Structure formats: C-alpha cells, structure tokens
Chains A and B, each alone.
Chain A
C-alpha cells in the first residue's frame, strides 16, 4: 500500500457488479486495492474447471471473502419444501466453508408457500444458525424490500432477536432501506455486534413508486455510493452506523447492467473512488500503521 493511498480496508466489492470469469473479477478487485470480495454461489459452481478450482482461485487471490450469497426463500416452509430448502442451505454452507468464508447471507422469504407465523420463522432461522455452528459460519439475515412477511430491517431485527442465536445477526442493505423509506432513527435499536454485514448501494432516481419498479431498480440500476442521488443519505447512514459502534465490513451491493458491459478495471476504479469517498471524506479513516495486526477480542466473561 502506498502512503498516499487511503484506508479502504473496511470496504469491498461484490462479484455481481462485474462481468467475466471469477479469476478476472478477483484480479480486478485486487488491482483496485481492495482486500475483500463478496462472492455469489454461481461464481464458484459455474467455474468451468469446477468447484475445487474456483475455491483454489479464491484462496490464491489473497482476498478475504466478505460473505457468501444468497440463500433465498428459506424460512417459513413446511414438510417437503422445508426439507428441500434445508438441503439447499447445507449445500451453501458447505461451499461457504470450503471457501474459508465465515458469513452466509440469507434474504427474507418472498414465497407465498411460506407461513407468516413468527414462531415458525424464528424456529427456521434458529435451525439454519445451528447448521452453521460446526462450520464456524455466521448467518446474516436481510430484509428484502419485497419480502412477503419481512421487508424492512426492523422486522428482520425482531426475528434475529427472538431467534437469539450467537451466530445469527442482521444483514443490512442500504438499498432496501431507502426503497422503503425506513427511518434512520430505527437504526438506534440495533446492537452493533449483531449487525454482521452492511451492503451499500446508491441509485439514480429519488423515488420508487411500485414494488415492480423497486425490484427492477434493485436488480439492474444500482450504482456505487456517491454516484447516485442518495449520497447524502448514504453518508448519514454510515456515519450513524459508525456512531452506533458498527466496525464490520461494508460491501458494495451494486447490480448494474451497464457495469456488466464495461471493462472490469473501469468498474473497479469506480468502486475504489466510492470507497475512498466513504473512507476518507465520510468516516475519515486514518491510514493504518505498517504491519498492523488484528488481535482477537479480549474476552469479557
């Protein structure tokens, strides 16, 4: 790291922002100066040389895997649908473990086949977290803004609290919060140690009128923080999370069709600019000292 480079250690890119092969994505992210990357299951299962080759490429890249995504429509199912989803979850956990990744992301269910009964949702989240314990994986539960029962983060937080598992926490995506106009004040109820991941994205329009438009925007028209019209809100959000005591990772969850047809280095440079803006101008991170090492938390118990 050059002495004139900023501190972007807390920020990472997501493979979904980039076109091309897994190796090309890893290289582009690395070259832009990032130390971590968020992976999707299809990055590794779709590798032409198979899963083991994908795992080897990720490990060889030296990048830390921020998290592995995404388990969908898991909670609230019963009978054979539940058993089927448990198998899917186990498969994702196994891949996550192989990658040396410590975090699995799960989105709130959109399924009309799932019950809306709180106790059942809590029970399923507990079960998923239990499956993850032997593998040393944490589970981040995220409120998808078009989730059927859980669509705002305070609801996801409520389930996380009720499930009360040490390795179950909140996955927080700024896009969904802005899309539903959830108040920033709601952040104050969060325990920062139970926020396992924060995903950030901006978008280009001020208002989203329908659920259809929300889904289309989320999947095709997101931009990096600072590139859209919600920069101030994003700055306020990360400042608030920092003030709350959040010290975890920020991952750029930027789905964008245009970025999929631009050179990887160009997209990664945009992400870097965004990370520098957040790290330098918003959070005013200091550049780490040379040979900085990460010590384990001192045990309090």
Chain B
C-alpha cells in the first residue's frame, strides 16, 4: 500500500469559538398559509398583534414582546387544495453578528443557498435550505435598525410593540425527523451554527422525547431545537421531515395557561400530556398548528 496520505501533525483539535456566527436568538418565525386570516386569529388568541404589512406581498408581521411571527400568504392561494391548507413553519430567521459572513460560512461548509427573490428597495436577506421545504435566514439588523423598517409598513393606529402575554418569549422549535436521522440533523446544526447536544437527562417542558440541541447564543437569547424521530417500531416508511411547532418560554406556566385560557386557548389534557408547572401544549388549530409552553425563568 502506497503511503501517500499525509498524517496530521495536529495533536490537539483546536476548537472553534463556541459561537462562531455570533448567534443571538431568533429574529422571527415564518408561517406559510393559504388561510392567513384564520392563522391570524390563532395568533391573536395566543397574544400576538398584527403590527405591519409587507410592502409588496401578502405578508403580515405579528408581534408580542420580542417575538416576531411572519404570516406569509404570498403565492399560497394557488396551491388551494384542502389537504394542503395546514399552515406550515416555512422559515426561521437567526440573529447573527454578520449575515453575509454567516451565509458564506454556511455555504463553505455545505449548506444549500436559497435564491432570493427581492423586489426593488427590499432587503436581500440571505437564506439557506433547512429541513423539508423550510429556510433558515440570517439577519444582522435587529438592534438599532430593523429589517421590518424597510420591507414592512406599520399598520396605522396599532401599538408597534405590544407587550407579551405573561412574559412569553421564544424558547425553541420542535423538528420532526425521519428514522435514524438524529445524528444527521445534530451534525447539521452543530457544523453550521454551533449548536450543542444536551445530555439526555436535561429536558424541558412536558414533552421530553428525542434530542435537544442548545443554541450557542448568550443566556438572554438562547433557544433550543428538539429533534424527534418517529415512534420506535413504526414501519420504516415515514420519512416526512418538517418544523413541527414553536415553543414559547414563560416564567409561570400555570398563570400563562390561565391568561391564554381567557382568550379561548385550550390546552391538551390527556393521560400522556397535560398542563403542569413544567409546561403545557395547546390543542391544535387548522389541521395541525400548535404551541408548546415551557417553564423558563428568563427575565
């Protein structure tokens, strides 16, 4: 055997910075739906308020506290078929130190670029492909100047910064994955963004299945991705993968449940899943959209 392979002289694996992109939380979650009004009602019952409208597309911005939700009905109407009416989580936007640098770094490491389709005077927000048909945006203007100032027009007479119900904040996203895919997706989030796997005994909320990845953000903007494979013993045919639901953090789950209950939100009460101090799960609306509440004492 010809020994032409050079052996590495590195005896120490020099570790990369723990937060290579300067990740600093979630800027927004985007839903795509052909029924924007119905989804808007759901969001309003969860405490969100519509605050701005996109300049050129059928897109609305909902907000409470620091949580931004974008409802995108652009190009959805044509799909039109009843079965496809379920709103889907179409994108997550990550706050990073430098969006262009983060985007280039991701592409260098094997991410797929999403071609952008911006209109004149709109921001070109770089994106890569995430799970299923979803996208991951990189946003670096979230401090003194916001992306919404450019692409959105405020809805007149509406408080642009409605307070959050019971201190709700982004906690994380649950991602459903295919059989034997946990390691693949762990590597995806680790390599591209610096997520780390939590030990199996560290779990949040009332739905502890699967693997939890922690973002490398500072404590104040930290969020989690939970990867869930199909039930063991299920036939090896279920390979659908998608972002399944958004988790919202609250310092007092029971008080939040009571507050949202007054707005008509119902929570799952079954033998396996029920409201308690650790967390709660809303009943699903519109064929599958739900929110999870997780106890998280963040101020």
A133, B8: Cβ atoms under 8 Å? no
| Distance to closest chain A CB from B277 (angstroms) | 27
Chain A residue nearest in CB terms to B187: A166
Contact flags B115-133 to A (C-beta < 8 A → 1, else 0): 0000000000000011100
Chain B residue nearest in CB terms to A122: B8
Q: How far is it, in angstroms, between the C-alpha of A151 and the C-alpha of B182 when the chains are bound? A: 32
A118, B130: Cβ atoms under 8 Å? no
| Total count of chain B residues near the partner, CB < 8 A | 39
Segment at the interface with A among B139-147, B230-238, B290-298: B230-238
Chain A residue nearest in CB terms to B2: A151
Segment at the interface with B among A3-11, A124-132, A268-276: A124-132
Q: A127-B110, A296-B232 are in contact. Are A149 and B188 (CB under 8 A)?
A: no
B110, A126: Cβ atoms under 8 Å? yes
Contact of B8 among A118, A130, A165 (CB under 8 A): A118
Q: Which residues of B contact A162 (CB under 8 A)?
A: 8
A130, B1: Cβ atoms under 8 Å? no
Chain B residue nearest in CB terms to A180: B1
A158, B112: Cβ atoms under 8 Å? no
Q: Which residues of A contact B239 (CB under 8 A)?
A: 136
Q: Which residues of B contact A301 (CB under 8 A)?
A: 182, 200, 211
B181, A136: Cβ atoms under 8 Å? yes
Chain A interface bracket (under 10, 10 to 19, 20 to 34, 35 or more): 35 or more
Contact of A166 among B178, B183, B232 (CB under 8 A): B183
| Distance to closest chain B CB from A192 (angstroms) | 15
Chain A residue nearest in CB terms to B3: A155
B1, A182: Cβ atoms under 8 Å? yes
A127, B109: Cβ atoms under 8 Å? yes
Q: In the complex, how many residue pairs between chain A and chain B have their CB atoms under 8 Å apart?
A: 89
Q: Which residues of A contact B184 (CB under 8 A)?
A: 133, 136, 166-167
Interface residues of B in 1-36 (CB under 8 A from A): 1-2, 4-8
Q: A126-B110, A134-B130 are in contact. Are A158 and B233 (CB under 8 A)?
A: no
At the interface, yes or no: A293 with Cβ under 8 Å from chain B? Answer: yes
At the interface, yes or no: B289 with Cβ under 8 Å from chain A? Answer: no
A116, B183: Cβ atoms under 8 Å? no
B1, A155: Cβ atoms under 8 Å? yes
Interface centre among B110, B178, B179 (most CB of A within 10 A): B110
Q: A165-B187, A167-B184 are in contact. Are A152 and B1 (CB under 8 A)?
A: yes
At the interface, yes or no: B151 with Cβ under 8 Å from chain A? Answer: no
Q: Which residues of A contact B4 (CB under 8 A)?
A: 116, 149
At the interface, yes or no: B180 with Cβ under 8 Å from chain A? Answer: yes
At the interface, yes or no: A299 with Cβ under 8 Å from chain B? Answer: yes
| Distance to closest chain B CB from A99 (angstroms) | 14
Contact flags A284-301 to B (C-beta < 8 A → 1, else 0): 000000000111111101
A116, B6: Cβ atoms under 8 Å? yes
| Distance to closest chain B CB from A178 (angstroms) | 14
Q: Which residues of A contact B187 (CB under 8 A)?
A: 130, 133, 165-167
| Distance to closest chain B CB from A201 (angstroms) | 21
Q: How far is it, in angstroms, between the C-alpha of A269 and the C-alpha of B180 when the chains are bound? A: 35
| Distance to closest chain A CB from B36 (angstroms) | 27
At the interface, yes or no: B252 with Cβ under 8 Å from chain A? Answer: no
At the interface, yes or no: B259 with Cβ under 8 Å from chain A? Answer: no
| Distance to closest chain B CB from A85 (angstroms) | 13
At the interface, yes or no: B241 with Cβ under 8 Å from chain A? Answer: yes
Contact of B110 among A118, A129, A151 (CB under 8 A): A129
B232, A298: Cβ atoms under 8 Å? yes
Q: Which residues of A contact B153 (CB under 8 A)?
A: none
| Distance to closest chain B CB from A162 (angstroms) | 8
Chain B residue nearest in CB terms to A90: B112
A296, B5: Cβ atoms under 8 Å? no
Contact of A296 among B129, B131, B192, B234 (CB under 8 A): B234
At the interface, yes or no: A266 with Cβ under 8 Å from chain B? Answer: no
Q: A90-B112, A130-B191, A165-B187 are in contact. Are A118 and B232 (CB under 8 A)?
A: no
Q: Which residues of B contact A298 (CB under 8 A)?
A: 232-233
Interface residues of A in 184-219 (CB under 8 A from B): none
At the interface, yes or no: A281 with Cβ under 8 Å from chain B? Answer: no
Q: How far is it, in angstroms, between the C-alpha of A162 and the C-alpha of B6 when the chains are bound? A: 13
Q: How far is it, in angstroms, between the C-alpha of A136 and the C-alpha of B132 when the chains are bound? A: 10
A294, B110: Cβ atoms under 8 Å? no
| Distance to closest chain B CB from A147 (angstroms) | 10
B235, A295: Cβ atoms under 8 Å? yes
Q: Which residues of A contact B181 (CB under 8 A)?
A: 136
| Distance to closest chain A CB from B7 (angstroms) | 7
Q: List 15 A-B contacts (CB under 8 A).
A: A118-B6, A127-B108, A127-B109, A131-B110, A136-B241, A154-B1, A159-B5, A165-B187, A180-B1, A295-B233, A295-B235, A298-B232, A299-B182, A301-B182, A301-B200
Give me 6 other A-B pairs in contact (C-beta within 8 A), A131-B110, A131-B112, A298-B233 excluded: A90-B112, A126-B191, A130-B191, A134-B188, A298-B232, A301-B211
